[in-house]
C-alpha cells in the first residue's frame, strides 16, 4: 500500500490553503515548508503543512 498522503499547504501570513501536495511518510519526516506565491498576499510567502 502507498504511504503517500495528501497534505494541505497553507500560507504562513494569511493562513489560506493555496496548494496541495503529497507526502511520503517514509521519506519525509519533517513538516514541509515551501516558498510559494500566495495570490491573496500578492507575494512569495512560506507555505507550511497544515493539519486539518
Q: Provide the binding-site residues for Zn ion, judged by CB under 5 A.
A: 11, 13-14, 38, 40-41
Write down the least CB distance from residue 30 to Zn ion, Å.
22
- Quote the distance between the C-alpha of residue 5 and its chain's center: 12
Please identify, using beta-carbon distances, which residue of 5 and 39 lies nearer to Zn ion.
39
Please identify the residue of the shown chain whose CB is closest to the bound Zn ion. 11
**What secondary structure letter does DSSP report for 13?**
T
Report the C-alpha gap between 36 and 47 in whole angstroms: 6
* Cβ nearer to Zn ion, comparing 3 with 44: 44
Amino acid at each position: 500500500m502507498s504511504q503517500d498522503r495528501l497534505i494541505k499547504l497553507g500560507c504562513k501570513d494569511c493562513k489560506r490553503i493555496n496548494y496541495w501536495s503529497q507526502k511520503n511518510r517514509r521519506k519525509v519526516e519533517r513538516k514541509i515548508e515551501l516558498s510559494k506565491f500566495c495570490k491573496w498576499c500578492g507575494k512569495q510567502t512560506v507555505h507550511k503543512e497544515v493539519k486539518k
